[in-house]
C-alpha cells in the first residue's frame, strides 16, 4: 500500500525503506530486490543499487533481466528523470517506470506531462490498478471529481488491487462529512465486494458505509450478515449493539448482549452495552449486575472505565442512591477528564438536585468550551446558570442550544420560556412554552406553566 503512494509521488527514499521491510517479511521474492535497486538508481545512488544486484545474483542466480538492470546503472551523471526515461525506452511495456517518472514530474509540478505518461502507462498495462490510482491523484489535484470517481472505480473493480488498499481508501472517505464522498464510498465498496465476494473485512466496511449514510437498519443487517458467515467476528457484535442502543431497540440489544457474551465473556464493553440497554429498559437492578461484571474485568482503557462509571451513576440515580452516584461520576471524570458529555451529564444531574451548583458550573463550562456547538451541553449550561439566578448568562446559552438544535428537542423551548419568565418577559415565556407543547413536549409541569401562565419549579 505504501509502495503505491511513494511510487506515485516520487518519494524514492521512502520507497527504499518500504522494500527493506518487504524483504524482511519475505526474502524469497526477487521483485522486491529489483524494485529496491530501481528506486536507488532513480534517487541517484548507483553504487548502492549495484550492491543489491550483486545480492540478487548470489541469491537468485544470473538472468537477462539482471544483466539489463546492471547496464542501466552505468548511466553516469544522469539525473533521476533521465534514468527513468532510459528505463522506459528499454521496457516500454512496464507501467511501473511510467509511474516512477510521473511521480517525479508531479513533484516538479509538471502535472500535464505526468498525465500524458500515465495515459501511456494505461495503454501498456490496462489492468494495472496503480495507474488508475495515480490518475485519480491527478484528478483530485485538478478537482475533476467525475474523472476522479471513474479512476477509483476502475481501480476497485480489479481483483489484483490489494484489499487493504481498498479498505484504506474507503475508510478515508468516511472521515469526511460529505454526502457525495459517502455516496462514492458506497459505490466503491460494492465494486470491491464484486471483486472479492464474501471478504469479511469488506462486508464490515460496507456496514460502516451504510452507518455513515444514516441507514442504521441496513447497517445492522449488514453486520448481522457478517455474523452469519462467522459468529467469531467480534467487531460485528460490538457494532450491532451500538446501533441497537442508538435506535432504542433495548430488548433486542439485551438479547444480542447475551449472545455476544456467550462467545466473548471477557469483553467489558459488551457488559456495558447490555447494562445500558437494561437501564434504558427500566431494569436497573439487572443493569447494576452487568456493570459490576464490566468493572471486574481488568483493562487499561480509562475511557471505557469512565463510560461504565458514568452509566453506573445514572443507574444509582434512578435507584435514589445519590451519594453513590456522585462517587461514580467523580470516578468517571477522574478517569476521562476530557469526556465532555460525561462532564455535562454530571452537571445536569447536580442541577436537577439543586446541589453543588458551583461544581456543576465548572464541569459544564469546560464541556461547553470544548464543544461550543453541542446543543445538549449548551442547554445543560443554561440550566446550571438558571439555577444560580444568572438569567442573562443562561439566556445566552439556551439561545445557543436552540441555534444548534438539529434534533428539534422541544425541552429546550421549555427551558427558554423558564429563563424568559424569570427575566420578566412573561408574555414571550408563554409563547415559548406553547411552542414546546406544539413540538411534542407533553410534560404535566409544562401544561401547568401554560395554564397558570407562570414558571413552576
pLDDT digits (tens, 9 = 90+) for 146-180: 999 999 999 999 998 989 889 889 988 887 778 88
**Helices marked H in 297-438 — which ranges?**
302-318, 322-335, 340-353, 357-370, 375-387, 391-403, 410-422, 426-438
pLDDT above 90 as % of the chain: 63
Q: What is the largest CA-CA distance in the chain?
A: 98
The pLDDT of residue 397 is 98
**What one-character-per-residue DSSP string does 130-156 give?**
HHHHHHHHHHHHTT-HHHHHHHHHHHH
- Grade residue 421 by pLDDT with cuts at 50, 70 and 90: very high
Contact 336, 353 (CB under 8 A): no
Q: Coil, helix or strand for 70?
A: helix
Domain segments of the chain: what residues? Answer: 1-147, 408-457
Please state, as a whole number, how many other Cβ atoms lie within 10 Å of the Cβ of residue 74. 9
The pLDDT of residue 303 is 92
The pLDDT of residue 8 is 46
Stated pTM of the model = 0.74
Q: Coil, helix or strand for 435?
A: helix
376: Cα separation from own chain's centroid: 22
184: Cα separation from own chain's centroid: 16
Q: In the Cβ-directed half-sphere of 199, how many Cα atoms lie within 13 Å?
A: 19
- Cα end-to-end span (Å), the chain: 62
Bin 3: left if φ > 0, else alpha if -120 < ψ < 50, else beta.
alpha
Q: What is the pLDDT of residues 96-114, one digit of tens each?
A: 777 777 776 776 788 888 8
- Cα angle at 399 between 397 and 400, to 5 degrees? 65
The pLDDT of residue 9 is 46
Q: How far apart are CA 386 and CA 367, in angstroms?
A: 17
Q: What is the pLDDT of residues 320-364, one digit of tens each?
A: 999 999 999 999 999 999 999 999 999 999 999 999 999 999 999
Torsion 302-304-306-308 (CA) sign = negative
The pLDDT of residue 41 is 75
Mean pLDDT of 401-422: 93
Q: How far apart are CA 17 and CA 276, in angstroms?
A: 47
Helix (H) or strand (E) holding 414: helix 410-422
- Kindly give the interhelix angle for 426-438 and 444-452, rounded to the nearest 10 degrees: 140
Contact 192, 156 (CB under 8 A): yes
Residue 161 DSSP symbol: S
Q: How far apart are CA 438 and CA 410, in angstroms?
A: 8
In terms of pLDDT, which residue wins out, 406 or 97? 406
Only one residue has cell 489484483, namely 160
Helix (H) or strand (E) holding 166: helix 163-174
- Cα angle at 365 between 359 and 370, to 5 degrees? 135
Fold for the domain defined by 1-147: 1.25.40
Mean pLDDT of 41-69: 78
Mean pLDDT of 359-378: 97
Q: How far apart are CA 455 and CA 457, in angstroms?
A: 7
Amino acid at each position: 500500500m505504501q509502495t503505491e503512494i511513494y511510487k506515485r509521488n516520487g518519494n524514492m527514499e521512502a520507497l527504499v525503506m518500504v522494500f527493506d521491510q518487504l524483504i524482511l517479511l519475505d526474502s524469497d521474492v526477487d521483485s522486491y530486490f529489483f524494485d529496491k535497486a530501481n528506486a536507488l538508481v532513480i534517487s541517484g545512488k548507483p553504487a548502492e543499487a549495484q550492491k543489491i544486484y550483486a545480492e540478487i545474483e548470489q541469491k537468485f542466480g544470473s538472468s537477462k533481466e539482471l544483466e539489463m538492470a546492471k547496464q542501466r546503472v552505468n548511466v553516469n551523471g544522469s539525473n533521476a528523470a533521465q534514468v527513468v526515461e532510459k528505463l522506459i525506452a528499454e521496457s516500454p511495456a512496464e507501467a511501473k517506470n511510467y509511474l516512477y517518472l510521473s511521480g517525479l514530474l508531479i513533484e516538479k509540478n509538471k502535472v500535464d506531462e505526468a498525465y500524458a505518461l500515465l495515459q501511456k502507462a494505461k495503454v501498456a498495462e490496462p489492468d494495472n490498478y496503480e495507474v488508475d490510482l495515480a490518475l485519480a491523484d491527478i484528478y483530485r489535484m485538478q478537482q475533476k471529481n467525475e474523472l476522479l470517481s471513474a479512476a477509483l472505480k476502475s481501480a476497485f473493480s480489479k481483483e489484483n488491487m490489494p484489499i487493504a488498499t481498498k479498505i484504506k481508501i474507503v475508510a478515508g472517505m468516511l472521515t469526511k462529512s460529505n454526502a457525495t464522498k459517502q455516496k462514492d464510498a458506497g459505490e466503491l465498496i460494492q465494486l470491491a465486494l464484486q471483486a472479492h465476494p464474501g471478504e469479511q473485512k469488506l462486508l464490515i466496511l460496507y456496514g460502516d458505509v451504510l452507518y455513515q449514510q444514516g441507514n442504521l437498519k441496513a447497517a445492522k443487517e449488514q453486520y448481522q450478515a457478517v455474523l452469519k458467515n462467522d459468529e467469531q467476528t467480534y467487531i460485528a457484535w460490538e457494532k450491532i449493539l451500538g446501533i441497537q442502543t442508538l435506535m432504542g431497540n433495548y430488548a433486542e440489544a439485551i438479547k444480542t448482549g447475551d449472545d455476544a457474551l456467550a462467545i466473548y465473556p471477557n469483553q467489558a464493553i459488551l457488559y456495558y452495552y447490555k447494562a445500558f440497554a437494561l437501564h434504558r429498559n427500566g431494569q436497573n437492578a439487572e443493569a447494576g449486575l452487568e456493570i459490576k461484571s464490566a468493572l471486574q474485568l481488568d483493562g487499561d482503557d480509562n475511557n471505557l472505565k469512565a463510560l461504565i462509571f458514568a452509566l453506573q451513576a445514572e443507574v444509582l440515580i434512578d435507584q435514589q442512591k445519590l451519594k453513590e452516584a456522585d462517587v461514580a461520576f467523580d470516578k468517571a471524570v477522574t478517569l476521562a477528564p476530557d469526556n465532555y458529555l460525561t462532564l455535562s451529564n454530571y452537571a445536569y444531574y447536580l442541577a436537577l438536585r439543586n446541589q453543588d451548583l458551583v461544581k456543576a458550573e465548572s464541569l459544564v463550562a469546560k464541556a461547553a468550551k470544548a464543544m461550543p456547538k453541542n446543543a445538549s451541553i449548551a442547554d445543560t449550561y443554561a440550566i446550571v446558570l438558571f439555577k444560580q439566578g444568572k438569567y442573562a448568562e443562561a439566556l445566552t446559552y439556551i439561545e445557543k442550544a436552540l441555534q444548534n438544535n438539529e434534533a428539534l428537542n422541544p425541552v429546550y423551548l421549555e427551558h427558554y420560556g423558564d429563563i424568559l419568565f424569570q427575566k420578566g418577559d412573561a408574555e414571550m415565556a408563554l409563547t415559548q412554552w406553547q411552542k414546546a407543547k406544539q413540538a411534542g413536549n407533553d410534560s404535566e409541569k409544562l401544561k401547568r406553566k401554560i395554564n397558570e401562565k407562570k414558571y413552576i419549579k
